[in-house]
């Protein structure tokens, strides 16, 4: 390798190759006959041939022009500066001209290199191999680099090819919505032909099995809320009484102290109960009971048990727990019990509809549970008129219309003697809710004598309540759906108080979620306060009962039921436990307390 750096002869490599080929071709036959070992001691006359090959190599090197290294200014690397990489609109034609010049110069260079090759065509070795051998590594890399840039420049020009000017749009076109402008007629249900009735709306496919849920239930029955508890397997894990004698003391004193505690001769003190009550308070708060109510409950239990003698074979923990359970059951069973079916039948005797108003905050499920209660009333043989008094929320009327259509599909008029069991009374959006409720109640009243109760030219005075044609448009129950409102919204709370004061419903139900804790107390207190403040009567009408929704999402955290009944002393009339029409239950106080006391 070193002689290539020392010698300046350019034909050495070519000479060695030529000598190798000439020697091999001349002595090929002898190699094949004698073999390699036979030629080691032989002599070969190759001097004349070697001198001839040397002269040919020297002559070919003299004919070929020596390659001169390019200067930096002549190389392409000098042209790749930051300035030349910046493309402007004005410089594009110049670049094209330069590229054309470079291409022309390259062609001239290739022709100049090819000319000596033609002149030396008479030589044995082709000139192309000599040209390639003379290229250094830097020149090969430079050549490959040029080809790479050429390919990328061509690809960039193809991708940046301008689109035809005919397709360019000047300015921004206004968006056309699917159901806007000229297509608004599709949404207009106010013409005289349909009058906004539900019959004019397209009816979607409806699966009764999905809406009914459990098909094995008894129709019209309101099942109790169920909860499985393991009271027998529960062990007392609450803090034990610190005033008890320690087992480490031993002797007769420890034994007599233990027997004394077992026979029940010990009276409870506040110091004995405080650790247990503190543990119970934290447990109630963890089960979503409002903190203030949990403190009051524990305080009332402490006052009740203070000074009481413990029973035989009982502990402080079991005694406090039993007293707390009794207090919770008593809270969930208020003095006044609401029996909706009995009250509806009583209203029938007075020939008037039974009116129920639903109120509550936003998103708690008022409309959904109203539909469940409607289904339950229909299965008990009562006709229902739904008053759409939520004139604020978008889609509220359409939601009730969908429920009405599905309830009529589950209970068609053919199954009830041609009588439509549920209808929707609505006046659209933006109207006065109190006025709509009054019109709905008037529309649902039974028609009596004096010409209003005429049927077929006869005045029907005494008829049966179940299937009398004298009722005509009369309904057994009117359910008033109101807009959801926060307890701090004074204008909406004033409107709700006006609706209740003007229409005097038979039952005002507050719809609340089972998910809330302290918020339940704030909602009920402010709802009752707003109804009392904005009422014109001397005895203002407050909330009569509670509908507890989303009970299937809380597992055993049922503390909201305790908070709501404790703060209002009103019963929980209905409990929503799912998304089908059959997912409606009545409250079982013992089941709720069992879930609440579960560790």
Lowest model confidence (mean pLDDT) among 132-141, 210-219, 298-307, 336-345: 210-219
Maximum C-alpha span of the chain: 151
What confidence score (pLDDT) does residue 223 get? 82
Count of residues making up the chain: 599
What confidence score (pLDDT) does residue 166 get? 54
Comparison of pLDDT for 1 and 319, the residue scoring more: 319
Mean pLDDT estimate for the chain:
75
Query: Is it the case that residue 532 has pLDDT exceeding 60?
Result: yes
Tokens of 547: 């509908």
SS3 string, 443-493, reads HHCCCCCCCCCEECCEECCCCCCCCCHHHCCCCCEEEEEECCCCCCCHHHH
Residue written as token pair 């005033």: 243
Q: Where are the alpha helices (DSSP H) in 264-312?
A: 270-286, 291-305
What is the per-residue DSSP string for 90-135? GGHHHHHHHHHHHHHHHHHHHHHHHHHHHHTTTSSS-HHHHHHHH-
CA angle 189, 194, 199 (to 5 degrees): 95
Q: What pTM value is reported for the model?
A: 0.59
What confidence score (pLDDT) does residue 313 get? 75
- Tell me which CATH code domain 340-597 carries: 3.40.50.300
Query: CATH top-level class for 251-332?
Result: mainly alpha
DSSP reduced 3-state for 584: strand
| Rounded Cα gap, residues 391 and 397, in angstroms | 8
| Rounded Cα gap, residues 460 and 468, in angstroms | 9
- CATH 1.20.120 maps onto the chain at 251-332
Residue 274 binned pLDDT confidence (cut-offs 50, 70, 90): very high
Torsions phi, psi for 8 (to 5 deg): -105, 5
- CATH 3.40.50.300 maps onto the chain at 340-597
Question: What percent of the chain clears pLDDT 90, i.e. is strictly above it?
Answer: 27
């Amino acid at each position: 390798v070193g002689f290539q750096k020392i010698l300046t002869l350019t034909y050495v490599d070519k000479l060695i190759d030529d000598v190798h080929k000439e020697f091999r071709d001349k002595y090929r036959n002898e190699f094949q006959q004698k073999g390699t070992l036979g030629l080691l001691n032989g002599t070969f006359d190759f001097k004349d041939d070697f001198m001839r090959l040397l002269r040919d190599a020297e002559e070919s090197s003299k004919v070929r022009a020596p390659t001169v290294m390019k200067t930096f200014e002549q190389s392409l690397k000098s042209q790749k500066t930051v300035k030349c990489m910046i493309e402007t609109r004005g410089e594009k034609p110049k670049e094209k001209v330069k590229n054309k010049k470079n291409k022309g110069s390259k062609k001239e260079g290739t022709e100049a290199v090819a000319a000596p090759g033609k002149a030396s065509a008479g030589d044995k070795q082709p000139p192309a191999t000599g040209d390639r051998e003379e290229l250094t590594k830097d020149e090969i890399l430079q050549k490959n680099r040029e080809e790479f840039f050429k390919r990328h420049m061509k690809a960039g020009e193809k991708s940046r090819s301008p689109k035809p000017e005919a397709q360019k749009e000047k300015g921004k076109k206004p968006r056309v919505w699917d159901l806007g402008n000229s297509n608004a007629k599709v949404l207009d249900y106010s013409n005289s032909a349909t009058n906004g009735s539900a019959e004019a709306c397209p009816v979607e496919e409806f699966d009764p099995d999905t809406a009914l849920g459990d098909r094995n239930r008894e129709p019209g029955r309101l099942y109790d809320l169920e909860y499985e508890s393991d009271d027998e397997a529960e062990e007392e894990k609450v803090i034990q009484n610190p005033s008890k004698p320690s087992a480490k003391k031993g002797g007769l004193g420890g034994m007599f102290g233990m027997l004394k505690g077992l026979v029940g001769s010990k009276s409870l003190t506040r110091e004995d109960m405080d650790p247990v009550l503190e543990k119970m308070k934290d447990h109630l708060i963890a089960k979503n009971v409002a903190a203030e109510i949990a403190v009051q409950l524990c305080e009332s239990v402490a006052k009740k048990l203070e000074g009481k003698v413990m029973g035989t074979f009982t502990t402080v923990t079991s005694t406090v727990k039993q007293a707390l359970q009794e207090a919770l059951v008593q809270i969930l069973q208020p003095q006044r019990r609401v029996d909706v079916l009995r009250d509806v039948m009583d209203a029938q005797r007075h020939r008037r509809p039974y009116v129920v108003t639903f109120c509550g905050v936003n998103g708690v499920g008022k409309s959904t549970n109203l539909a469940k209660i409607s289904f339950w009333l229909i299965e008990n043989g009562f006709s229902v008129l739904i008053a759409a008094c939520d004139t604020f929320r978008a889609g509220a009327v359409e939601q009730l219309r969908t429920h009405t259509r599905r309830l009529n599909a589950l209970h068609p008029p053919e199954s009830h003697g041609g009588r439509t069991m549920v209808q929707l009374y609505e006046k659209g959006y933006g109207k006065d809710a109190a006025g709509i409720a009054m019109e709905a109640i008037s529309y649902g009243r039974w028609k009596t004598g004096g010409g209003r109760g005429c049927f077929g030219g006869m005045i029907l005075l005494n008829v049966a309540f179940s299937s009398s044609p004298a009722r005509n448009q009369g309904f057994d129950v009117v359910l008033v759906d109101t807009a959801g409102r926060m307890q701090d919204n004074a204008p909406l709370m004033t409107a709700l108080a006006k609706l209740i004061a003007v229409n005097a419903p038979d039952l005002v139900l507050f719809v609340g979620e089972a998910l809330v804790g302290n918020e339940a107390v704030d909602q009920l207190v402010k709802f009752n306060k707003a109804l009392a403040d904005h009422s014109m009567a001397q005895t203002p009408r407050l909330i009569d009962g509670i509908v507890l929704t989303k009970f299937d999402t809380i597992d055993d955290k049922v503390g909201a039921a305790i908070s709501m009944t404790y703060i209002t002393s009103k019963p929980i009339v209905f409990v929503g436990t799912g998304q089908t029409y059959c997912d409606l239950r009545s409250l079982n106080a013992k089941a709720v307390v069992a879930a609440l006391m579960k560790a």
